[in-house]
Amino acid sequence: MGEYYIWLNTLVNKCKSDYSAWPELKWLNPYEAFESLELRSALIDQSNKSSLFKQTKPYHKQISKGCQICGEGSWSCLFITNQCNAACFYCPVSQKQDETPGTQGLDFNTPAEFANYVNRLQFKGVSFSGGEPLLYFDRTLAYLNEVRKKCDKDLYVWAYTNGILANREKMELLAKAGLNEIRFDIGATGFKLDKIAFAKGLIPNISIEIPAVPEEKERLKELLPQMIEVGVTNLNLHQLRLTPHNVKHLSKHDYTYIPAERPIVLESELAALEIIQYARENDLNIGINYCSFFYKHRFQKAGYRRQLAQALQINSSEITENGYIRILSDNHIEYRSVKLFEKQPEGLETQPLVIANKTYFIAKPLLFTEKISPAEKEMIIRMISEKTAVIPSDPFLFKVWQKEYIEEGLREF
């Protein structure tokens, strides 16, 4: 386990170094980790009767179709704008400027460009996010109408909003255009539910999607019956995470930070699990799922890589579960990623991909390559075929194990 602990120590050192200007931040120590892990395990045991994606997404009752598509990687989230009219303390990025609609580093200047992209990559779901999509309602409606016009009729489409600009007329137009689901961030409106009522009876699935703010745990429990009454079908709870943008706000709260690949708030996860447990104990008729950082950081990204690799018809035998390209020969092993660029990237070999009348560029950047012996090849094949989660102590095998397993939801504090 030596290499694994070295990797964990690297994460700790990096997180503390990145936020060294904020000495007041409380990082998880070994004593707290033991107690917190016991509490988390107890909550998982009770609330994890239903769980997806290797226990990174516990849920109660059901998850929405959009969440299922997201986990499978068959989803494209189009950021309609980067501008927002709210000021949530937990927002991880600055959202002050309007930008061209885009996703995955690609810009889509017209609705037709985006619809063609969705068709070519064979997505099963599309969402419209921001910023705040309702700030540019006509733009949002234009992109929605185009995917409904050009894409598969079974495409599942949803939109995110803070609800500030929501009204009955907008909900009627979105419903008429074929929106399947709308998700409200009620944290932006003081946890009020009045704007949600505008969507009731019009849009088939209504969700609330918010971070699990520890201080609001009891209020959310009390609001659950009211959510059901106004037509909410699902509550999606995210894990708070620390970023350079929100650190000045989060540092004012008494949170404990876990030094993971990105710093995350321990109490946020515990709050989400407690809310799920409360709903289960009271048999509340609402779907609740916890969208942990590990799920978002690993499964969402892995799913997109797989979707991209499959749509570009890369040899399926070479695509790993994490969406990497693995090339294993008698004397070497190699891992590559798959990326799609709007412009020719410098220093990368590419091949063109024409979608309608627009040319994109496919690149397969090298992640790591190493010569291997026959014995090492045999060990690699065994490790892959057995899907073992046993952490190898050998430095070389640990590198391989990371590519095969570390991004699939391994949880350690």
pLDDT at 317: 73
- The residues that bridge with 1 in the sheet, in sequence order, are none
* Contact call for residues 152 and 162 (beta carbons, < 8 A): no
Per-residue DSSP letters for 285-315?
A: SSEEEEE-HHIIIIIIHHHHHHHHHHHTT--
- The structure tokens 């410098």 sit at 346
Number of Cβ within a 10 Å radius of residue 269: 25
* 36 vs 43: CA distance, rounded Å: 11
Smallest CA-to-CA distance from 368 within 395, 341, 400 is with 400
Residue 327, strand partner residues: 334
Type of residue at 406: I
Residue 335: beta bridge partners? 326, 368
CA dist 351 and 359 (Å) reads: 10
Cα gap 396→392, rounded to integer Å: 9
Nearest one of 113, 212, 111, 209 to 158, comparing CA atoms: 209
- Which pLDDT belongs to residue 44? 65
8 A C-beta contact, residue 269 and residue 277: no
Question: Is residue 212 within 8 Å of 189, Cβ to Cβ?
Answer: no
The answer to whether the beta carbons of residues 71 and 57 sit under 8 Å apart is yes
Residue 353: count of CB within 10 angstroms of its CB: 16
Question: Taking the model in full, what pTM does it have?
Answer: 0.90
Q: Tokens 């068709």, residue?
A: 119
The vertex-279 CA angle with 278 and 284, nearest 5°, equals 145
Rounded Cα distance between 252 and 299, Å, is: 31
Q: How far apart are CA 409 and CA 297, in angstroms?
A: 9
What are the residue boundaries of the structural domains of the chain, listed by start?
10-303, 314-407
CB atoms within 10 A of CB 340: 19
The torsion of the CA quartet 310, 312, 315, 317, rounded to 10 degrees, works out to -20
Q: Which residues of the chain have pLDDT under 70?
A: 1, 31-55, 388-389, 406-413
Distance CA 390, CA 330 (A): 24
Give the Cα separation of 101 and 81 in Å (integer). Answer: 6
Q: Looking at residue 413, what is its pLDDT?
A: 26
In DSSP terms, 237 is beta-bridged to 210, 290
Helix H or strand E encompassing 172:
helix 168-177
Rounded-to-integer distance, Cα 247 and Cα 359, Å:
39
For residue 196, the 8-state DSSP code is G
Per DSSP, helices labelled H in 25-122 are: 30-47, 65-72, 111-120
Edge-to-edge strands of the sheet including 256-258?
26-27, 256-258, 264-265
Q: What homologous superfamily is domain 10-303 in, according to CATH?
A: Aldolase class I (3.20.20.70)
The position carrying tokens 């709903």 is 279
